[in-house]
Amino acid sequence: MATTNVRATRASQKTNATRARRLSPQRLAEPRFLNRELSLLQFNERVLAMAQNPTTPLLERLRYLCIVGSNLDEFFEIRVSSLKEQQRLHPSMRGPDGLTASDALALVDKAVHALVQKLYALLNDEVLPSLRAQGVYLHHASEWDDAQREWAHDLFVRDMMPLLTPIALDPAHPFPRVLNKSLNFIVPLSGEDAFGRKARIAVVQAPRALPRVVRMPPAIAGLPHGFILLTSLIRAFAPELFPGMEAHGVFQWRVTRNSDLFVDEEEVTNLRQALQGELSQRNFGSAVRLEIDQLTPPHIESLLQTEFGLQAADTYRVNGPANVARMMQICQEVDRPDLLFPEFQGPIPKAFATLPHKSGAIFELIAAGDQLLHHPYQSFQPVIDFLTTAALDPDVVAIKQTIYRTGEDSKLMELLISAARAGKEVTVVVELMARFDEQTNINWAARLEEVGAHVVYGVVGHKTHAKMLLVLRREQGRIRRYGHLGTGNYHPRTARLYTDFGLMTANPTLCEDMDKVFAQLTGLGARRQLKLLRQSPFTLHESIMSMIEVETAAARAGRKARIMAKMNSLLEPKVIEALYEASQAGVKIDLVIRGVCALRSGVPGLSENIRVRSIIGRFLEHSRVFYFYAGGKEEVYLSSADWMDRNFFRRVEVAFPVLDTSLKRRVIKESFTLAFKDNTRAWIQQSDGKFVQVMSKSTPVNMHDELISLLGSK
């Protein structure tokens, strides 16, 4: 027996020593964390794959190309500009990935150039020729016949030339101030003008009032759907802006600028006023990217680089429109349903569709039990109906709501205005710092204040990203609360495109927690103790860490342990380290991450029990869902927060539990079970961080189609 124990001890020591060597960071071939920017570019590669896929309807293929173009604009405006700032201010600082800003920029430059080249090759060699075969065509000037040229010239002279202001570059005319992402043209010239000047270069700026895509009449086009790009029109006729001089080409170009706003919230006395002042300067931030026509002469390229302080690595020669995203107009104007995804509109769930037409019926339904909505497979209309009823119901005394993104034309905001006009206490927490929606939110805040609503801008230094709507109703002499919590924004349009969960509840504890969060946002005082909600920046991070640690301890004790999580991005280092430790203890971890992921899965000795997959398809995966086995209790949370530093520590977020057993089973199936079965739109992360698309010869399973079938008829 003693000999057996000694052998067992030695075997255990040998196993532990081997495991320790495997876990040593120095022995890992790659860093423990992946680079954020490269991971984001890989996400765009996966989106581009939807445009490459011949089974994707043609106009949708064009739409995905436009989405990648738009994503790259924001990537440069925010991520590349951030790296350049870090390069300037902290050149030796290394991130969790072990890279300095200069290291990261070198890798990013190489990856983006390859991605841009692939995008334009796909546009020109596959998508546009395939669309032409379907009667949808972009008419290039070199291909115009006489009738088309005459029509185009008349259009240019009548509607465009009066708005164009050519600017010659000479001592009296310095280089014009150029707006972020504006379309511009540079024209090399020779000859003398009326004053005897010998200008060699002129710049023509295309006003934003001009359409970037113009429809050509079918009789002129010779096709049902003919279009001309503004670029083609100006390139063809801009020389007429310089009579008596000779133009040696007309070359498009565009500059992308740093668009991150800086407002020192602790120093300003009026955040809205300060933000409005900063917004006016967003279009003139430091330049981070130069896009030029592929035919641009080297000396013109050098001139533009010098003007904007950019290098060769920052310059992109494009074979097509500089702003690919503007071609989205073609997808919207071509009436060819056969070239789009089959039309789908999420139905109103039966429980809501069959409500009696009486005041308060929706409150009775919610009081009878929690109601779960899964958008876009189920309609967003019940949320609108909930707020509509609250605005009209004489027994409702107060409405409280957070607003992050809602759109310029928002039915929900109009309902809040109506409720305030009706004399109800309306409190709206408007996040002014919602990136690229700042002006829209400022406008809504002003309108709400005009009708007497209480408008607050959250907490200084913390964006309010939580999605909450709370209604206080007087019933039998007492106040009862009804709430809606969501993973997505109160934006009816994106609710048709983004996958999100919403929970309607009258659970007293959950609604009381919501009220406490609103009190923290609108007033002052000590931190409120919440019973069911987990809140950033206070308890969400520690709760997630604690739940991971519980699973880790269970696995070490030989008990069943399981973690599943779905989100947009995974970056927070402590959470990633905790997941690595859980994997090493034997916890089975499955992550469904749409975009950025700094965790490396499947690395022996580090993360071999972690699988990461990404679903890219018809809808944008946007919901955040967290599952922990918890000794069989199976805790499920829905949240507004990704697992990122900003969401845990610099934002007001909430995660809310799904308490009803049947709803919990729904969330698990609709978030994870179908995602793990998907073999047409799923991508699996490899140990080097790259994603490989799932290829299966078995029966095709498309998660989005499955959910349309499952929920689309209910």
Detail the residues annotated as belonging to a binding site for Mg(2+). Answer: 405, 435
Alpha carbons 520 and 543: distance in angstroms, whole number: 20
Contact 676, 668 (CB under 8 A): no
Alpha carbons 617 and 175: distance in angstroms, whole number: 44
| Neighbouring-strand partners of residue 401 | 428, 469
User: With b meaning 16 or more CB within 10 Å and e meaning fewer, what string describes 79-94?
Assistant: bbbbbbebbeeeeeee
Residue 281 vs residues 179, 275, 285, 287, 305: alpha-carbon distances, Å: 10, 10, 7, 13, 22
Of 465, 484, 491, 541, the active-site residue reads 465
Report the SS3 class of residue 185.
strand
Q: Would you call 465 a catalytic residue per the annotation?
A: yes
Q: Which residues contact 601 (CB under 8 A, 6 or more apart)?
A: 591, 607, 610, 611, 612, 685, 686, 687
Q: Burial level of 542, CB count in 10 A (0-12/13-18/19+)?
A: exposed
Contact 623, 488 (CB under 8 A): yes
Whether the ω angle into residue 243 lies within 30 degrees of 0, i.e. cis, is no
Q: Which two tokens stand for residue 243?
A: 């009579």
Handedness of CA 328, 332, 337, 343 (dihedral sign): positive
SS (H, E, C) 518-560: HHHHHCCCCCCCCCCCEEECCCHHHHHHHHHHHHHHHHHCCCC
Q: Which two tokens stand for residue 341?
A: 């995804």
Radius of gyration of the chain (CA): 28
Q: Where are the beta strands (DSSP E) in 191-233?
A: 201-205, 213-216, 225-229
Q: Residues comprising the binding site for ATP?
A: 71, 498, 594, 622
Q: Residues comprising the binding site?
A: 71, 405, 435, 498, 594, 622
Residue 592 vs residues 35, 206, 289, 501, 616: alpha-carbon distances, Å: 18, 43, 32, 15, 11
Alpha carbons 175 and 178: distance in angstroms, whole number: 9
Whether the ω angle into residue 537 lies within 30 degrees of 0, i.e. cis, is yes
The residues annotated with a catalytic role in the active site are 465
